[in-house]
A and B are shown apart, each in its own frame.
Chain A
Amino acid sequence: MSAPLTEQPAAPLPEELAGPERSGRRGGALVQRLVVVRELGILAALVLLVVATVIANPRFLSGQNVRDLLLSAAILTVLAAGQTMVIITRNVDLSVGSVLGLSAYASGTLMVVAPGTPVVVVVLAGMAVGAVCGLLNGAIVAVAGVPSLVVTLGTLYAFRGLDSLWASSSDRLQINAADLPSGFKSLGGARLLGVPVLFLVAVVVVVLVGYYLRTFRSGRELYGIGSAPEAARLSGIPVGKRVLTAFVVNGALAGLAGVLYAARFQTLDTTAGTGQELFVVAAAVVGGVAIFGGSGSVYGAALGALLLTTIGTALPQLGLDPFWRDAAVGALILAAIALDRALQLRLAARLRGRSARR
């Protein structure tokens, strides 16, 4: 925090700080290839799962079924995109489920109180609520220097409690579909070229976050911070400011997810999004985002979210009891981190061998 909070003039970053994806050098290219292989791995698992399910039940790929699947995945994907930014900086945000609930309730209340509000304003309001929550998380983490796991565990409770306090003091414990304006409700089922609009929103979010993380200088610096926080500070990266930004963006996306939730389910109470934080972190980890920061991509996390959602709907079609879902998700997380560890060890060995030959 003692580092100046202003943008420093560009200085060449050491290779480690430049993140795993900076190509050009041979080591970097190798890492880049590994990331692609890792993402193709999840994609392959996803395809395998879908193919197996289609063989068991050809109707699995019917239009309605796929649309339902994409709708369910949309919310988790938006959350995973934001969480990826935070995890890359070697932090975590466990409060996203509560932020989703608060934002869903806030946007629902806005529409009940002022039914004429344009949908765009509702979306922005939801994102603003989320951004404020994210700002609070980020400020405590970055300014007070308290570990994010602890802070966001605290705000997980606090934001949920705030949601309940608001609902119980306003005598509006539940907002039903009948209370919501029809313009907003049609958003939940709306399609563009046959694809659910909510899913398209998620795709846009993923592409934007992915482009930012890959192309922007400040995006690259997030990887640097996660790889080696102290080195990042010494090389002039405004660590506090970057981490704060990651939390605010993540909060805003959790807020957006809250509005999507409201549009999809149209019945809102104070339990919306409870327990989502674990699935979000799981999606990112399954997607190859290292839990201690510094590597991973938002595309991987999005594929992870899609895979977790697909498992949930595919298991019953495969003749397995739906009770197996959580167990399968757990096994998948363990397999993913074990795979990451194996790849990491091999990569380290290859790089060592390379520098030895030189």
Chain B
Amino acid sequence: MTVDTAPAPAAPAAAAPARRGLTLPSGSVITTFLVLFLVIAAFSVDGFASTRNAGFLLLDVVVIALIALPLTLVVVTGEIDLSVASTVGLSSAVMGQLWIVGLPLEAIVPLVLVLGAVLGAVNGFLVTRLGLPSLAVTIGTLALYRGLAFVVLGDQAVADFPRAWTTWAISSIGSTGIPTVVVPLLVLMAITGVVLHATPVGRSLYAMGNSEDAARFSGIDVGRTKLWLFVVTGVVSALGGLYWTLRYGSARADNATGLELQVIAAILLGGVSIFGGSGGLLGVIAGALLLASVRNALQLVNVPSDVLNIVTGVLLITAVVAPQVAARVKGRRRRPAPT
């Protein structure tokens, strides 16, 4: 971790004096926070450390952490995808509609994953081939995909999925309370971590996040790489849609509405720069877990769930403001007066 999360070769000019002072890898601060919080909560919040509660907590974080994996790679390249939650919704709606039509789940699953690839490819095509800003494109497809979800399924809910599948979705490993689904998630995390931090591809993502032109001149096919990232994000979001549907036992067009903001909050909290080029996967996973644990702990002490939004917001802002302020204080001490 200490070695492989800091490959960012050249920080953007504005942050340059800051970076020289920071020796900790991105993500270590947030991971420390997470550990501290878990320890404090375990001792001070009744029921927080129970296996039952840990199971619920992990179930809640699964889809956010899952989608955060490919989306982190997208953000590292300097792009963004706001349409992920709508892709979850559309996948869920299509899954429900195909089930009504009478297809078996064994056939529905691959079809929905292909759909996710297509949805991601549309984003990727508009961004890389037409050169449109991903922020605007994916605000558009956020509305488009969610709209199509309603066109496909309307406002009905499909809930008669086979018990075997829905109970698997919330089952846990033996009596540990750890959800079964955490195992495949860990595998995907490991794969993503290796790709991002230990392969030339991962390195090239940081390179294009820092300077797209420089990356292009050094022989990286920026367009193709980004296109593939959007496709993968689509597929993984569709997977998230399948899981979401089974976990709540209900296919609805409005499933996971607003989830994109939670995923992005986790990524930014984890120390990934919104401008691309820096950050690491460990921080993102810690960020997702921290957000979920804080909400969970506060719910246990009966803080109304709407009020918890304050915590999410303040955490997010603190996470980005604190390093900036620290960097400025450090920079000022180092050099007399930055013009």
Whether the pair A337, B137 counts as a contact (CB closer than 8 A) is yes
Partner of A145, one of B14, B135, B147: B14
- Of the four ranges (under 10, 10 to 19, 20 to 34, 35 or more), the interface on chain A belongs to 35 or more
Whether the pair A161, B258 counts as a contact (CB closer than 8 A) is no
Partner of B147, one of A153, A155, A329, A341: A329
Cα–Cα, bound, A140→B314 (Å)? 12
Whether the pair A285, B136 counts as a contact (CB closer than 8 A) is yes
Question: A146 on the interface (CB 8 Å rule)?
Answer: yes
Chain A residue numbers with a CB within 8 Å of B306 are 160-161, 164-165, 168, 270
Chain A residue numbers with a CB within 8 Å of B339 are 2
B126 to chain A: closest residue by CB = A334
Subset of 24 A-B contacts with CB under 8 Å: A144-B325, A145-B324, A153-B261, A153-B264, A153-B313, A156-B261, A164-B306, A165-B310, A168-B304, A275-B257, A285-B140, A292-B133, A323-B150, A325-B147, A326-B150, A327-B148, A331-B144, A333-B136, A334-B140, A334-B141, A334-B144, A337-B136, A338-B130, A341-B130
Chain B residue numbers with a CB within 8 Å of A14 are none
B143 to chain A: closest residue by CB = A330
A-B pair number, CB within 8 angstroms: 157
Partner of A147, one of B133, B150, B275, B307: B275
Question: A157 on the interface (CB 8 Å rule)?
Answer: yes
Question: A246 on the interface (CB 8 Å rule)?
Answer: no
Whether the pair B310, A330 counts as a contact (CB closer than 8 A) is no
Q: Distance in Å from the Cβ of B275 to the closest Cβ of chain A?
A: 7
Q: 1/0 per residue A278-314: CB within 8 Å of B?
A: 1001100100000110000000000000000000000
Whether the pair B274, A147 counts as a contact (CB closer than 8 A) is yes
Whether the pair A150, B307 counts as a contact (CB closer than 8 A) is no
Question: A324 on the interface (CB 8 Å rule)?
Answer: yes
Cα–Cα, bound, A146→B265 (Å)? 14
Question: A149 on the interface (CB 8 Å rule)?
Answer: yes
A335 to chain B: closest residue by CB = B140
Q: Distance in Å from the Cβ of A293 to the closest Cβ of chain B?
A: 11
**Interface-lining segment among B38-46, B161-169, B279-287, B315-323:** B315-323
Whether the pair A153, B265 counts as a contact (CB closer than 8 A) is yes
With contacts A140-B321, A144-B325 taken as known, whether A161 is within 8 angstroms of B309 at the C-beta atoms is yes
Chain A residue numbers with a CB within 8 Å of B135 are 149, 291
Main secondary structure of the interface of A (DSSP, over half): helix
Chain B residue numbers with a CB within 8 Å of A154 are 265, 312-317, 320
Chain B residue numbers with a CB within 8 Å of A333 are 136, 139-140, 143-144
Q: Distance in Å from the Cβ of A135 to the closest Cβ of chain B?
A: 15
Question: A7 on the interface (CB 8 Å rule)?
Answer: no
Whether the pair B144, A327 counts as a contact (CB closer than 8 A) is yes
Whether the pair B308, A334 counts as a contact (CB closer than 8 A) is no
Q: Distance in Å from the Cβ of A339 to the closest Cβ of chain B?
A: 10
Cα–Cα, bound, A150→B155 (Å)? 32
Chain A residue numbers with a CB within 8 Å of B251 are none
Cα–Cα, bound, A321→B156 (Å)? 14
Whether the pair B151, A321 counts as a contact (CB closer than 8 A) is yes
Question: A36 on the interface (CB 8 Å rule)?
Answer: no
Whether the pair B151, A341 counts as a contact (CB closer than 8 A) is no
Chain A residue numbers with a CB within 8 Å of B320 are 146-147, 150-151, 154
Question: B338 on the interface (CB 8 Å rule)?
Answer: yes
Cα–Cα, bound, A278→B154 (Å)? 21
Question: B145 on the interface (CB 8 Å rule)?
Answer: yes
B135 to chain A: closest residue by CB = A291
Question: B142 on the interface (CB 8 Å rule)?
Answer: yes
Cα–Cα, bound, A140→B151 (Å)? 41
Cα–Cα, bound, A318→B137 (Å)? 27
Whether the pair B304, A158 counts as a contact (CB closer than 8 A) is no
Partner of B310, one of A149, A161, A270, A328: A161
Q: Distance in Å from the Cβ of B37 to the closest Cβ of chain A?
A: 18
B151 to chain A: closest residue by CB = A323
Q: 1/0 per residue B177-220: CB within 8 Å of A?
A: 00000000000000000000000000000000000000000000
Cα–Cα, bound, A153→B338 (Å)? 30
Whether the pair B133, A150 counts as a contact (CB closer than 8 A) is no
Whether the pair B310, A162 counts as a contact (CB closer than 8 A) is yes
